[in-house]
Structure 1
Amino acid sequence: MKKPLVSLLSLALAFTVVSPSLSAEGSAESQATVEFTAPTEPVAPVNPEDPTQPNPDAGDAGNITGQEGPLSLDYVSHLDFGNQIISTSQEVYEATTDLPYIQVSDLRGTGEGWEVIAQVSHFNNEGIDSLPGSSIQLNNGDAVSTSTTDGPGVTQAINLETNGEAANIATATAKDESGVLNTAQGLGTWVMRWLSDSTSETNDNVTLTIPGSSASAGSHEATITWTLSSTPDGTEG
């Protein structure tokens, strides 16, 4: 006996799956917020060979300045040129300092740029100016950081004459006309370093030049003054 057509249609409809509607009924917006404040605590020296690591020996090899942020000169190395023999000829002595570097932190969050200059005093031996005409050379320096932004430009051939004349060490330019922060150089903590190109015990990129017959017996010491300044217009000054 044949089943009624209406019964078959009812059975088919019972197994039909109805898909839900995917059309949007409306939209709304919400906000995500965060606020940053420039830090004021000093930044500890980092390892110049690996800036992700601290430098526990920094206090023995230089000056931990303790300068508070947000723009700070954190560390400057001492430079040692060893024990030398008086010579009648001009001599160039390589530094015995293992890892000479300076460290700058720019945590202002403004992208204004900065500059470091240096000056060297006359050498002094027991209260008397000494080693006339001498100078210190810093060559082939570079800048390293954990920052992903562009680094400062390091002057490649620096000659520090012992007459107090200032020389540029490094310059980080300010953000460009777009005003975007990461177009500035030198954001974060940066190490400017002068590491040796050789495997010898002395550093061929940090040298002391002494004119012939100008050295006197005894210990001689000069003061290097490193000065960090903000350069809002991105120029040296």
Structure 2
Amino acid sequence: MTRWTSVVVASLALATFTMSATATAQANAKSGGGDQTTTAKVTLVGGDTSKPVSPKDPDGSGGEFPGDNLDPDNKGTGSTGDLTIDYASNLVFDENSYADGLITATATNNRAFVQVSDRRYTGDGWQLMLTPSVLTGQSDNQKIYGDGASIEMGVTRFLASGATVSQYPHVTTASTTRLPLGEMAKVGQADRGTGVGTWIYRLNYDTTAPTKLLVNGSHVSETQTYTGELTWTLTDSLH
């Protein structure tokens, strides 16, 4: 069994943005007994970003996260601010095949997800990046990296957490995209005007194309548990 734990790195926005919109309707009052028009004004301010967004159900309903029995101690990141990663699953892979010198291990937790919240209310967009670290053997500290192993993302998608008025972010990888260990890659992006609010990046939910760990068998020195880290990075830059 290979256990893959996550380290979440949430970027800080360069500035604090507040949505301030003023709506005004006004016309000259008519003389006599006709219709009269008055003025209405309202200033809309974005919500409080000093508290973290709690993990939501990855089914997109907006309900509270019921938990994952394969990742029971994960309560979320507790990150605060206007652009945050709120939750990232710890993945557990079990080896299920060895053919042509390639070991294939499939993630076992099918409720895996990463939760992103954009509370800037500017529509500037963002990028979600993933860096899988090298694998380290727990018995002999052997390292597996480079052409020795990669993550195959499988089918992934973005879901809105509850109702949303914003357009969806989009996945930037294919189901067969392989991410070499030790290299950062973009897995999702919200273009300008999209991705406002709380979003669920689902992975390992489709049994026909699950998330996999692929390891070159010649790089494995002995039977042991290998561990690594998944670093998720959220950036407010689209470049």
State the 1:196 CA deviation.
3.0
Name the structure 2 match of 1:128.
141
Deviation (angstroms), 1:204 = 3.6
The CA deviation string for residues 73-125 of structure 1, in whole angstroms up to 9 with x for no partner, is 00111111125687772122211112111010011111111111011111112
In 2: Cα distance, 1:38 partner to 1:53 partner: 19
Larger RCO (CA within 8 A; separation ≥ 6): 2
Task: Please state how far the C-alpha of 1:39 moved relative to its aligned partner.
Answer: 2.0
Counterpart residue identity of residue 43, structure 1: V
The match for 1:94 among 87, 106, 128 is 106
Aligned to 1:166: 184
Q: Does 1:34 align with 2:43?
A: yes
* CA distance in structure 2 between the aligned counterparts of 1:208 and 1:83, rounded to whole angstroms: 9
Counterpart position of 1:20 = none
* Local SS of the residue matching 2:234: strand
Distance 1:160 1:62 in 2: 24
Task: Report the counterpart of residue 130 of structure 2 in structure 1.
Answer: 118
Question: How many pairs are equivalent?
Answer: 197
**Other structure's SS at 2:72 match:** helix
Query: Which one has a larger percent helix, Structure 1 or Structure 2?
Result: 1
The structure with the larger Rg is: 1
In structure 2, what residue type is equivalent to 1:207?
K
Q: Are 2:180 and 1:153 aligned? A: no
TM-score normalised by the chain length of structure 2? 0.74
With structure 1 as the length reference, what TM-score do the two structures score? 0.74
Q: Quick check: which one's strand share is greater? A: 2
Question: Per-residue displacement from partner, 1:164-216 (whole Å, max 9, x unpaired)?
Answer: 21110111011xxxxxxxxx110110001024333xxxx84200101123223
Name 1:208's counterpart in structure 2: 213
Q: How does 1:167-206 map to 2 (within 5 A)?
A: 167-174=185-192, 184-198=193-207, 204-206=209-211
Unaligned runs of 5+ in 1: 1-22, 175-183
Identity %: 26
Distance in 2 of aligned mates of 1:25 and 1:223: 71
Off by >4 Å, runs of 4+ in structure 1 = 83-88
One-letter amino acid of the structure 1 residue matched with residue 155 of structure 2:
N
Take 2:134 and 2:142, find their aligned partners in 1: how far apart are those partners?
6
Unpaired stretches in structure 2, ≥5 consecutive residues: 1-31
